A and B are shown apart, each in its own frame.
Chain A
Amino acid sequence: MAVQLFYFLSALATLSALMVVFSRNPVHSVLYLILVFFCLTGHYILLNAQFLAIVNIIVYAGAIMVLFLFVIMFLNLRKDAEQKQPPLMKFIAVITGGLLLLIIVSVLSKVDMIQAQKTGFNSQIGLVENLGKVLYTEYLLPFELASVLFLVAMVGAVMLGKREAGERHF
């Protein structure tokens, strides 16, 4: 059951990621992006990372996507407003992406990856208790620095969004 679910979620995530890139309407892109995030959340649950699955829904599907949708509504983009990239550039871009994928896959398919050990396997690492313990002991300093980062980002976003007098406000 879980194995079929893995294939289903992977296929759905890949397809909707493709739709994000290739759909014309930015609102559709955002909706497909939400679908990608939900598929990845399913993957996290299958991998026993329950805490991150919930955080993924709250942060990505909740906060970030609302921000994206809000900006799209705010900018009032017309469907045909986007200039098309020249065909040569598109061709080169697709070739570049394909080659990147080819190289990564061909290099990594030869590698013998570590397999999970049956003995000593801890299936509880993704729960709040264990993650919290590690986060507040080993990674306490980065955790506190993240709060400074948020403060800087908050001040930066407010400064950038503020309307100033004059014609151009760069």
Chain B
Amino acid sequence: MPEVIANIPLNYYIFFASALFCIGVVGVLTRRNALIVFMSVEIMLNAVNMLFIAFSSYKSDTSGQVFVFFIMAVAAAEVAVGLAIIVMIYRNLRSVDTGVLNNLKW
């Protein structure tokens, strides 16, 4: 059994992952640069990955790690499409500021 699993309670991993997730939430809410918003979403995804791996290692169950594998695959696809959208927005509006995108605003 790895040293970390024997000595560190699972709660610590939960606190660490929730801290990362909340930092991501704050990033999405405070920044107006679409790229940074996107990076904050990546941080949130990684916080969830961290938690999946911690649980799967503590329970010594493979399924959690397979889930992380799929999350990574989906994240890669999402980044490719999302960055293409950001490039297209920049090409049309000469800006990646989320405040400019108010056509659908009520």
Contact = CB atoms under 8 A, between A and B. Distances in A.
Interface of A: 1-3, 6, 10, 13-14, 17-18, 20-21, 26, 29-30, 33, 36-37, 40, 43-44, 46-49, 51-52, 55-56, 59-60, 63-64, 67-68, 71-72, 74-75, 77, 81-85, 89-90, 92-94, 96-98, 100-101, 104-105, 108-109, 111, 113-118, 120-123, 125-126, 130-131, 134-135, 138-139, 142, 146, 149-150, 152-154, 156-158, 160-161, 163, 168-170
Interface in B13-65: 14-16, 18-27, 29-33, 35-36, 38-40, 42-43, 46, 49-50, 53-54, 56-63, 65
SS class of chain A's interface: helix, strand, loop or mixed? Answer: helix
Interface of B: 1-12, 14-16, 18-27, 29-33, 35-36, 38-40, 42-43, 46, 49-50, 53-54, 56-63, 65-66, 68-70, 72-81, 83-88, 90-92, 95-97, 99
B62 A131 contact: yes
A68 B25 contact: no
A62 B56 CA distance: 25
A117 B22 CA distance: 31
